[in-house]
Structure 1
Amino acid sequence: MSAEDYLKLRTYLFNHTYSASEASQLILAVISATGARVGEIIGLKWCDIDFERHQLKIQRSFDSAARKIKTTKTVSAIRTIPLVKSVTRLLGLWHENHPTTEFVFAEDEMGLPKASSINSAFHHLQRELGIIPIYSPHSLRHTVASLLVARPELDVTYVSRLLGHSNPSITQRYYLRVLPGDHQREDMVALNTIAL
């Protein structure tokens, strides 16, 4: 996903007022702010969110296919992630309307949302914002990861821990300079070099 599309989506998601039927969109907002996996966000409980410190703790994941809570993908995936204040505020407002549920995104007797519902909501949102609906919610994770890795002041070890990777080499292999448009300058240099 381009940085431009990501910013357009994130701006909408961070500034939207969520109704009770929009859990899927709020999940997208949290993913776009943390780079967490879809199942990790669906599996959040209220006790995992520290509203004062603006943090959330990933301790479990929801398997949409099996419809059950499971352990995280790896031991390294158990982690604490900082939250931007706007998303902490959104979660606080959500909590005011869902104070009795254990899971943040529980849909009362219907249980937790399916990943397919979140994917559908994301495609609908992309169309609404004039973006070709080709991105999955996992694209948000990839984009956040790419943006973080591109920051020279952030050590890849820190980014790896934030993403819940088992080691930094995975982060480097998959996310080092993968944003569309990042290779334009290098392409020009390569073409000029080959053309000599």
Structure 2
Amino acid sequence: MYQYEHIMTFDTQGQGGVYGNNAAGSSNTNNQQQQVATVKRKKSIRSDSSIELRGPMEVDGSVKSGGGVAFSGNFAVRDRIEAYGDIDVVGDLRCSNKLKAYGNVKVNGSALCVDRVKIFGKLKITGTFEVQGDLEVWGAITINGYLKCKTLTAYASITTVGDQSWYQTEQGETVHGAKLIQRTNYEG
């Protein structure tokens, strides 16, 4: 850890582990007030338990949690994301370093990880998930959208949902389970 790095620490979720949208200002247009959300900036976020984060937010350091992490909104994390529980993404997430989850990862929206991603649980994608490094998943992978990675190592099955879902690897894949296609309008 660097000396200049400021870390926010939460022991319980009630001590500030939940962020809300802040209104930067308002403008009066046609007698309606419209609130504009500001982008919150944090150095690093660390918690011994699960945390729920609401964006838009930019984190210059890392996000580390002793439990799960729920991202809701738009996020940019310049260092790594590490959670000993589930990671849930609703919105957009950009991680400029490694992502490691000891639980499941759910992406409902889009996520981009620049470095390696290691998931010890299941991966469920509803939207897009792009990993510019290696992707290693120990649980089942369900894709309802698009997955792209450099290399893929899956120790369980991969399921694509519908004809519009697919995945792409740049340098190959190793799948130890079944490759399945779930038809949404199957009549048989």
TM-score range relative to shorter protein: under 0.3
Larger helix fraction of residues = 1
When the two structures are superposed, what TM-score results if normalisation uses the length of structure 1?
Answer: 0.22
Structure with the higher fraction of residues in strand conformation:
2
Select the structure with the greater relative contact order (CA < 8 A; seq sep ≥ 6).
1
* TM score, norm. by length of structure 2: 0.22
